[in-house]
Structure 1
Amino acid sequence: MTGVTTWRPGLRSWLTLVRCEARMVVRDTAGLVVPVVLPLLIMVMNASSAGDQEVVAGRSALDVHVLPLVFTIVLASIGLINMPSFLAYYRRTGILRRLAVTPASPVMVLVAQMVVSLAQAVLGIGVAFAVAVSAFGARPPVDVGVALGVAGLAVAAMYGAGMIVASLAPSPNSAVAIGLIAFFAFGAVGGLFGGTAALPEPVARVGSWLPFGATVEALSAAWAGASVDASNLVGLVVTAVGGTVVAALFFRWQ
């Protein structure tokens, strides 16, 4: 009996798919520019005054408050808006359905899109931090390792929430609309519009559990060298795991 050799995509196939995804992202001018330029503008608008206010451990308000907010905006806009819209577009145009009957499964597209999205997030954060350091004297976190760990959790949480959007949105336009609603809803209770001190205490507490507020607060703590609140970490983990479970149950390839 002759055995049948099953072809599996190799490294070259993966790299080709990642390059194709990168080209798609680059061609989407708004999706490429907004996560980089908008946070940068917010940072520049607040840096002049915040950079002169020392808060703790030699870190200024720019370091402890503005930069965590800017980095969170980058991650949230990519995870909640950009990535789901691309996946919804691929499903709507039948790309995922066609891939499902080839050795290059739709999961490859999902992984490639996440890789490209992560590269875009690194670019946005890198540009903002480089400008903050060179132009306004920003300093790195007191606990760099903690900050990197929080950033990794934040990426997983934002992508988890974004996968829920991609699972439920019937079209690319609806994915953008739902993503924008989620972005501003999370941001409104997480410090996007001027901190959470003015919010009712129960609302502020909920905001600290949701991915936007949890990321801002945890990064702020890492920058100041303080202990990260356990509720922030739990909120990020729950969002990441919950988003993965919901996506596995409800994501439609066609």
Structure 2
Amino acid sequence: MSIAVEAHRPGAGAWLSLIQCEAKMVARDTAGLVVPIGLPLLILVMSASAATDEVVANGRTALDVFVLPLVLTLVISTIGIINMPSFLAYYRRAGILRRLSVTPASPAMVLVAQVVVSVIQAVIGITAALAVAVLIFDANPPVQPGAALGIFVLAMAAMYALGMVVAAVAPTPNSAVAIGLIVFFALAALGGLFGGRAALPEPVAAVGEWLPFGATVQALSAVWAGFAVEPVHLISLGVTTVLGFTVAAVLFRWD
């Protein structure tokens, strides 16, 4: 007589434990904590004083319309493109994902847990930047807060999709950091991180506007000032999300 053995799937407790373990790993990575939160705050503090007096539209200053969108995009992109892929590449290199594949806990659980922790880290970074901007420099909220929230979600999806591609092609944790840095600085430079898009040649600035970093900055600037978001920016983020996750799914290796 054969006895059927029921496979038990990991429950809520297993998910919570895995997320807690991921959070501890991220917390131990000092550079991974300081750079995505400290660097945007440094840029905010250095740029805020000169931007608080210039009113752009609807009572919003240059700090609100130009500096804050750039700073918040920095938080999202550094976590999604640089931090998260390095952890996933480490787990693959150490054989953790391969070992999980023969247990009830699927390797995909690690991916989900890392994304959850990364999102929490991004929320902390965004909250810290907004708190400093509001409490110290009297920054204003976006004219369209609902649209701003939607853009944040779409931008995080796009940046994490790029991060998944980096994790998929990087053979080692160090290479994941290196590739992530190259992708990040390329997107950020074209998106106006160094001197703004106005300082770039017009064709280069146009390309940067189609890429996810520039698209996020421009979309957030629009909703902060109360303007309509250009469809090209939403299309850019949406296409990046779909293509990024598709390419990552095809190329990702568990071992």
Matching of residues 115-154 of structure 1 within 5 Å: 115-154=116-155
How far the C-alpha of 1:8 sits from its partner, in A, is 0.1
How far the C-alpha of 1:234 sits from its partner, in A, is 0.4
Deviation string, structure 1 residues 54-90 (Cα, Å, up to 9, x no partner): 1110000000000000000000100000000000000
Query: Partners of 1:133 and 1:207 in 2: how far apart?
Result: 29
Equivalent position of 1:70 in the other structure: 71
Query: What code does the residue aligned with 2:37 have?
Result: V
Query: What code does the residue aligned with 2:233 have?
Result: N
Q: Establish whether residue 26 from structure 1 lines up as the match of residue 27 from structure 2.
A: yes
Query: Partners of 2:213 and 2:102 in 1: how far apart?
Result: 38
Equivalent position of 2:36 in the other structure: 35
Query: Partners of 2:128 and 2:35 in 1: how far apart?
Result: 13
- With structure 1 as the length reference, what TM-score do the two structures score? 0.99
Structure 1: give runs of 5+ residues left out of the alignment.
none
Equivalent position of 2:162 in the other structure: 161
Equivalent position of 2:195 in the other structure: 194
Large movers: runs of 4+ above 3 Å: none
Query: Partners of 1:57 and 1:13 in 2: how far apart?
Result: 49
Deviation string, structure 1 residues 172-196 (Cα, Å, up to 9, x no partner): 0000000000110000110111211
Query: What code does the residue aligned with 2:253 have?
Result: R
Query: Partners of 2:131 and 2:23 in 1: how far apart?
Result: 23
How far the C-alpha of 1:48 sits from its partner, in A, is 0.5
Query: Partners of 2:59 and 2:99 in 1: how far apart?
Result: 56
Query: Partners of 1:73 and 1:60 in 2: how far apart?
Result: 20
How far the C-alpha of 1:2 sits from its partner, in A, is 3.5
How far the C-alpha of 1:200 sits from its partner, in A, is 1.9
Equivalent position of 2:217 in the other structure: 216
Query: Partners of 1:237 and 1:136 in 2: how far apart?
Result: 33
Query: Partners of 1:193 and 1:211 in 2: how far apart?
Result: 16
Query: Partners of 1:118 and 1:26 in 2: how far apart?
Result: 14
Query: Partners of 1:143 and 1:191 in 2: how far apart?
Result: 23
How far the C-alpha of 1:3 sits from its partner, in A, is 2.8
Query: Partners of 1:204 and 1:231 in 2: how far apart?
Result: 14
191-200 or 228-237: bigger deviation: 191-200
Equivalent position of 2:250 in the other structure: 249
How far the C-alpha of 1:198 sits from its partner, in A, is 2.1
- With structure 2 as the length reference, what TM-score do the two structures score? 0.98
176-185 or 199-208: bigger deviation: 199-208
Query: What code does the residue aligned with 1:111 have?
Result: V
Structure 2: give runs of 5+ residues left out of the alignment.
none
Deviation string, structure 1 residues 113-149 (Cα, Å, up to 9, x no partner): 0000000000011001001000000010000011000
Query: What code does the residue aligned with 1:120 have?
Result: Q
Query: Partners of 2:149 and 2:203 in 1: how far apart?
Result: 29
Secondary structure in 2 aligned to 1:50? coil
Deviation string, structure 1 residues 181-232 (Cα, Å, up to 9, x no partner): 0110000110111211121222111111111000000000010010101110
Instruction: Please provide the CA RMSD for this pair.
Output: 0.7
How many residues align structurally? 254
